[in-house]
Structure 1
Amino acid sequence: MTQIFSGSLKNLADHFDRLINGRLWLKVLIALFLGVIFGVLLGPDLDLIAPNTVKTITAWLALPGQVFLAVIQMIVVPLVVASIVRGLAASNNPAAIKKNGLIALIFIVISTAVAATVGITLALNIQPGQFVDARMLVDVGSTAANSNVQGFPAMSELPEKVSALIPKNPLASMASGEMLQVILFAALLGAAMLSIPAQQSKPLFDLMGALQEVSLRIVSWAMLLAPIAVFGLITRLVANLGIDVLAGMAVYVATVVLGLIIVAVMYFMVAKLTMTQSFREFFSNVKELLLLAFSTSSSAAVMPISLQVTEDKLHVNPEIARFLIPLGATINMTGTAMYQGVATVFLAQVFQVDLSLSSYLYIVTMSVAASIGSPATPGAGIIILSMVLEGVGIPAAGIALILGVDRILDMCRTSVNVLGDVVACTTVQYFTGAEKALVNEAK
């Protein structure tokens, strides 16, 4: 019986290893569950261990999480630069960019701003941060909230602020983490590469490709730490706060998911207006793409499938699809912007940071800019979020509070991001009349 039992356990363990092999999201969920259990055992609810000993244990358990956050923050600048430059310079048809680029840019900026506004509005009404005891978050956040909240400057200061957005020294902007300046520099560089012969721009384009691949490899190494990071950070979180933190995080997750559903519904309504297909037919054509985006958490990973769906099933002009899908995977991050709106207000409520109307406008503006700069890789939203938090006086270390549940939310918002890429293609085709031209060519 002992041998049979041991053999059954081994088979079960082997099956479990095969189940979680390569499924980072499942590993993160398991780490989250184990972190909660260990946190409860170490926490004040059971009071099994002395508080000073608990602090020492949880500090060492949280070390991988701190390393994880440091690595992804370190690599964000080169990854954003390479992604934006290659996204803009990927098209070999400058005429197509002139024809379709303006409409696409207007659509992306408006939809992203609306999504961020939806996130802020939901967070203000639901107030998920009120379910977490802010007085007990000093150890988790590592730093107190900064009371100097940034907002929009006065009208007399606005010209100077606008001119300051142009980086006088791009390397200095990269070193200091001025991401908006970095994004503008990358956009100008990509646009300039389009204006010169492809043979001359090819070496720089290849260099950006190599930089992007190296950055992605470093991100992939960092993501290997994600389960351990989540386990340590959640263990410290629950051990310091107690089981009550779970209720607060559940409300936060529900708020983000609700916001993503609202944004997705808006996209489906736009698709209905800009396409001749019925709602059921459109949903049938994109559902597998959205499920694949959900499972991979990467807009870039599903880019070939996105092109196939938009061209073959949605009958989008290839000239539009092949320009907007790669570009959208880099700059069209509506789900990420909505998430950043919710997360920023949530952490402001947790850390008791008072935000004015100008601060909310600042959050929307920076969410748009930051989502445009988000690379199309798993976990990218959590990287860019730190910039938005610091802009409104919230310690970036508050990311530790939401890191444990971010993987599931990343999967959800990636699906919305990919849906936005598809709808951007149908919208540009509708307003440029490319669909009619495609039909005429087919005749």
Structure 2
Amino acid sequence: MSDTSTQPTRRLRLPSFTVQVLLGLGLGVLLGWIALRLGTVGPDGSPNWLTTTLDTIGSSFVTLLKAIVPPLVFLAIVASIANLRHVTNAARLAGQTLLWFAITAGISVAVGIGLGVLLRPGANTTLDPADGSDPTRTGSWLDFLNGLIPANFLGIGGSTQIAEDGTASTSISFNVLQIVVVALVVGIAALRTGKAAEPFLAFNRSALAVVQKVLWWIIRLAPLGTLGLIGTAVATYGWDLLAPLATYAGAIYLGLAIVLLAIYPVILRTNGLRVLSFFRGAWPAIQLAFVSRSSVGTLPVTQRVAERNLGVPPSYASFAVPLAATTKMDGCASIYPAVSAIFVAQIFGIDLSLTDYLLIAFVSVVGSAATAGLTGAVVMLTLTLSTLGLPLAGVGLLLAIDPILDMGRTAVNVAGQALVPTVVAKREGILDLERYASASAEDLFADEPVADRELVPSDEAGAARDGERVPVRA
């Protein structure tokens, strides 16, 4: 009789993370379709139990991601400042990052303007301008200053709403841009303090490691979150409202596809980077952005793929990615407002001049920073329309299908937020080319810390800029 006590137990082997996400996506579409067929409950149009369940699962996952954003951004930027104490090219890195923000935004808005002029979405619709309504929230050029100055140490704000029955509800929100400002000030102050700040910086490093471990656990829930988010989208959004806005929606998604699948690959190839490696590495963040419709909610995943998959040094990624999440929005701040402004002008019978098109480009490139203290593409659109003197009531014509457009917009936003740090790191010779070439979704869950390269171009980094593959992983 054989002794079975010494035989090793066979563990259940789960599918890869990518397969899990795809399974969640497919199952979510199926459940969303079932929920759509179930219809609403009661005369008040309340959602059925399946729609409510899917919404709860998806929104809970996004809430968890957003909850980890404030400590992650703060701790990572303070650690980044501490790592840059001996770096001489930090200012150059910041300047190159902002420059590439502007370059990609300028190209994206040019694509949007071109499609708006060629496809004439406002002239090919059955909508009545009288159906429009003014938005409840607008953007202005002063929003940047208001959003830049922290309201408190943590950049956290709140609002209280009183319902018709007299009950009050309070909601808490945070401003990522303000957290970035606070973290930069604290990090610089710690460096200027000297040895007395070493215990604080050591605690900051330990706290960052703990937060990153919690983030690891949350990201593991991505397949379940994807199921809930895409299921809610299928069950809730007004796909039947696409008919009168088909040309407009088609122009938006065509522009997003051109930027994502044509412009970005050209930028990557021009800088000596393989296109497939980028999309393979950035895919977890892009797909999560599509289903969650939140750049800020996706920020932790975007930063992690930039470091783990694409080879961007953590000390640079922790600065560039949070900044990009608030000011770098090729989908929401470039393509969308350009096509939408032209749509509104056409539907109201207003002819745009060359100066107006130049204003659209200017607002798209600079306006995303102006509205960084706020959220939502609608805010950016109101800034564009008010700058051009177009009727804000046109915004109300587009709100019915905004969630459908927002999925594609956010995916392009996040792709650009991962692209720019990767390109800048490559141009400065600090990109881990070995890690970039072998990028996969599974690298997100590697337990070992990512070694941070010194952010000073060396002879080895110079060889990397010339296209030679060099071993740079520690």
Superposition TM-score, scaled by structure 1 size: 0.60
Cα separation, 2, equivalents of 1:210 and 1:311: 30
> Within 5 Å, which residues of 2 pair with 1:305-344?
305-336=301-332, 337-344=334-341
* Aligned positions of 1:210-221 closer than 5 A: 210=157, 214-215=172-173
Q: Would you say the 8 A contact 1:260–1:335 is kept in 2?
A: yes
1:394 aligns to what SS in structure 2?
A: coil
Amino acid at match of 2:50: H
- 5 Å-filtered alignment, 1:111-126, equals 111-126=104-119
Judged with a 3 Å threshold, the aligned counterparts in structure 2 of structure 1 residues 210 and 139 are, in CA distance, closer, same or farther, namely: closer
Give the distance between the partners of 2:296 and 2:106, measured in 1 at CA: 22
Alignment deviations for residues 77-122 of structure 1 (CA, whole Å, 9 cap, x no partner): xxxxx9xx98998763586641311111111112112211211110
Runs (5+) with no aligned partner, structure 2: 1-37, 42-47, 60-69, 160-170, 176-232, 432-459, 465-469
Deviation at 1:271, TM superposition (A): 2.4
Structure 1 residues 317 and 401, CA gap change in structure 2 (3 angstroms): same
Percent of aligned pairs with the same amino acid: 29
Q: Which residue is equivalent to 2:132? A: 140
Contact 1:88 1:327 in 2 (8 A): no
Matches within 5 A, 1:369-388: 369-375=366-372, 380-388=376-384
Residues 159-198 of structure 1 aligned to structure 2 (within 5 Å) = 179-183=140-144
Aligned to 1:169: none
Q: Quote the residue 1:368 is aligned against.
A: 365
Q: Which residue of 2 aligns with 1:129?
A: 122
Counterpart in 1 of 2:23? Answer: none
Go from structure 1 to structure 2 and tell me whether the alpha carbon gap of 1:313 and 1:133 turns closer, same or farther (over 3 Å shift). closer
Q: Equivalent residue for 1:206?
A: 153
Q: Which amino acid aligns with 2:144?
A: I
Residues 316 and 425 of structure 1 are in contact (CA less than 8 Å); yes or no, is this contact kept in structure 2? yes
The match for 2:389 is 393
* Closer, same or farther: CA 86–402 of 1 in aligned 2, 3 Å: farther
| Corresponding residue number in structure 2 for 1:70 | none
Normalized per residue, the structure richer in helix is 1
Shift of 1:315: 1.1
**Most deviating of 426-435 and 98-107:** 426-435
Report the aligned-residue RMSD.
Answer: 3.9
Task: Note if contact 2:139-2:382 (Cα within 8 Å) is conserved in structure 1.
Answer: no
Change (3 A) 1:142 1:275: closer
Q: The residue matched to 1:206 in structure 2 has which SS?
A: coil
Which letter does structure 1 place at the counterpart of 2:405? L
Give the aligned partner of residue 270 of structure 2: 273
Q: Check whether the contact 1:333–1:372 (CA below 8 A) recurs between aligned residues.
A: no
Q: Structure 1: how far apart are the matches of 2:134 and 2:300? A: 42
Measured in 2, the distance between the counterparts of 1:142 and 1:101 equals: 38
CA contact (8 A) 1:320 1:428 kept: no
Please identify, of 281-290 and 338-347, the stretch whose mean Cα deviation from structure 2 is larger.
281-290
Q: In 1, distance between residues paired with 2:394 and 2:96?
A: 37
Q: 1:142 to 1:210 in 2, by over 3 A?
A: closer
User: Is the 8 Å Cα contact of residues 321 and 418 (structure 2) preserved in structure 1?
Assistant: yes
Equivalent residue letter for 1:138: A
Q: Is the 8 A contact 1:330 1:373 kept in 2?
A: no
Going from structure 1 to structure 2, the CA distance change for 1:88 and 1:106 (only over 3 Å counts) comes to: farther
The whole-number CA distance in structure 2 between the counterparts of 1:369 and 1:385 is 13
**Structure with more contact order per residue of length (Cα contacts < 8 Å, sep ≥ 6):** 1
Give the secondary-structure state (helix, strand or coil) at the position aligned to 1:252: helix
Residue identity in the other structure for 2:285: L
- In the other structure, the counterpart of 1:164 is none
Q: Which amino acid aligns with 1:419?
A: A
Q: Which runs of structure 2 are paired with 1:17-416 in the superposition (5 Å)?
A: 17-21=52-56, 92=81, 93=84, 97-133=90-126, 136-141=128-133, 179-183=140-144, 206-210=153-157, 214-215=172-173, 247-265=243-261, 266-274=263-271, 276=273, 278-336=274-332, 337-375=334-372, 380-416=376-412
Once the 2 structures are TM-superposed, how far is the Cα of residue 298 of structure 1 from its aligned partner?
A: 1.1
User: How far does residue 283 in structure 1 lie from its aligned partner after superposition?
Assistant: 2.1
- TM-score of the superposed pair, with normalisation by structure 2: 0.56
Per-residue deviation, 1:395: 1.4
- Work out whether residues 123 and 255 of structure 1, in 8 Å CA contact, stay in contact via their aligned partners in 2: yes
8 Å CA contact retained: 1:289, 1:305: yes
CA-CA distance at 1:209 after TM superposition: 3.6
Shift of 1:412: 0.6
Alignment correspondent of 2:35: none
In the alignment, residue 130 of structure 2 is paired with which amino acid? V
Aligned residues: 305
